[in-house]
């Protein structure tokens, strides 16, 4: 298990990219892309409030392609339905999982009544949708675990497979937005935000851009 601790998102991102670049193993994935991967990585951001959106800002200016608008990123996180324009959408999995609003009907009431609870977990993997061999796209964000300690909300989320360069900046931003919402509702401060990734990978076609990010201050 490789574990990174950093003060803010930008620092965490660079450390994670460097780790995969230097220690990862290469293979060709099912799309024919050369992937460098580290299995079982943890990334802990001690102060997620500080510049959580900075990695997104950096990516948007790298000339890779058009990054999704922040409005759309937030909107897909909170919507309760998927009108079919996304292969999947996180919002319905969180706020309307087979009719269950995991945040408002479970996490928030649970943490209000039992702030020390170890059960404040939401699940996004839906076997009825995702456990299909021929399904084109399935969720990477599997589980988020909320824990209040010393009056601060800490969030750990587990991703089965995360593109550290393109995907992680948005994934962690979405986690933070959700974390902030719950903390506000439960009236606690913001603690650390941790990502546990089974397959933390980068695609080598972005090697030059990744090195550019690593050279940035």
Partner 1 sequence: MVGVEEKILELFRKNTSAKLTTWQILTAIDEKAAQIEEILKSPLYGKTEKKLALREKAKLHRRVLYYLNKLIRSNLLATYGEVGKGEKIFGLNLTSGEEITIEGIRKIKITISRPPFPSLPVEGYEQRGVLRKYEEGTWINRVNSILVEGSNHPKLSTLYNYISNCILLVNDCLYIRDFERFLEKEKDEIFNFFREISNLINDFGKRIIFSIDFSKIQKKHEKKLENIVKYCNSLQQRPNFVFKVNPNEIYEKLEIFSKIIENFSSSGEPLTLQNSIFRAPYFRGICGVYGFDESEWGVYEEYSKKMSSIVCSNFTIALDMAKFASEFRLRVSSLEEVVKKCCEAMLIGSSIQREKIQEYFKFLLNTNKECLGFVFGFSRNYLRIWNYEWLRKRFDDEVMLSVLERIRKCLNNFCSIEETIYKACGMPIRFRVVLAQAIYEYYRKFFTEPEWERIELRHLGDLYESPSIKSKLVLAEKVGRMLNGGAILELYKLGKLNLDEACRELSYVLTTYRFPIIYLDFSGVLRRDLKLLEFLR
Query: Nearest distance from residue 159's CB to partner 1, in Å?
Result: 9
Q: How far is CA 126 from CA 136, 140, 172, in A?
A: 14, 11, 21
Name which of 30 and 113 has its Cβ closer to partner 1: 30
Instruction: Using alpha carbons, list the distances in angstroms from residue 41 to 1, 7, 114, 166, 179.
Output: 6, 17, 30, 17, 21
DSSP string, 157-182: EEEEEEETTTTHHHHHHHHHHHHHHH
| Closer of 84 and 99 to partner 1 (Cβ) | 84
Tell me how far the alpha carbon of residue 53 is from its chain's centroid.
13
Shorter beta-carbon distance to partner 1: residue 32 or 127:
32
Residue 180 CB, nearest approach to partner 1 (Å): 8
Give me the least distance between CB of 8 and partner 1, in Å please.
Answer: 11
Using CB under 8 A as the criterion, which residues of the chain lie in contact with partner 1 when the complex forms? 49-53, 64-76, 82-90, 136-137, 139-141, 163, 166-167, 170-171, 174, 177
**Shortest distance (Å) from residue 65 CB to partner 1:** 4
């Amino acid at each position: 298990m490789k574990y990174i601790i950093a003060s803010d998102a930008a620092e965490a991102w660079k450390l994670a990219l460097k780790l995969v670049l230097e220690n990862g193993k290469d293979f060709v994935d099912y799309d024919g892309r050369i992937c460098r991967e580290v299995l079982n990585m943890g990334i802990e951001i001690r102060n997620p409030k500080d510049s959580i959106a900075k990695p997104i800002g950096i990516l948007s200016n790298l000339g890779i392609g058009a990054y999704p608008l922040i409005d759309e990123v937030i909107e897909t996180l909170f919507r309760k339905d998927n009108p079919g324009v996304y292969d999947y959408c996180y919002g319905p999995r969180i706020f309307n999982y087979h009719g269950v609003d995991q945040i408002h009907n479970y996490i928030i009431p649970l943490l209000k009544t039992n702030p020390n609870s170890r059960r404040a977990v939401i699940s996004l993997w839906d076997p009825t949708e995702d456990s299909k061999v021929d399904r084109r796209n399935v969720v990477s964000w599997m589980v988020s675990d909320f824990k209040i300690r010393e009056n601060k909300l800490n969030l750990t989320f587990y991703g089965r497979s995360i593109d550290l360069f393109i995907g992680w900046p948005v994934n962690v931003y979405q986690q933070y937005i959700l974390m902030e919402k719950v903390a506000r509702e439960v009236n606690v401060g913001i603690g650390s935000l941790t990502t546990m990734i089974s397959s933390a990978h980068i695609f080598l076609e972005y090697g030059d851009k990744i090195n550019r990010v690593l050279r940035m201050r």
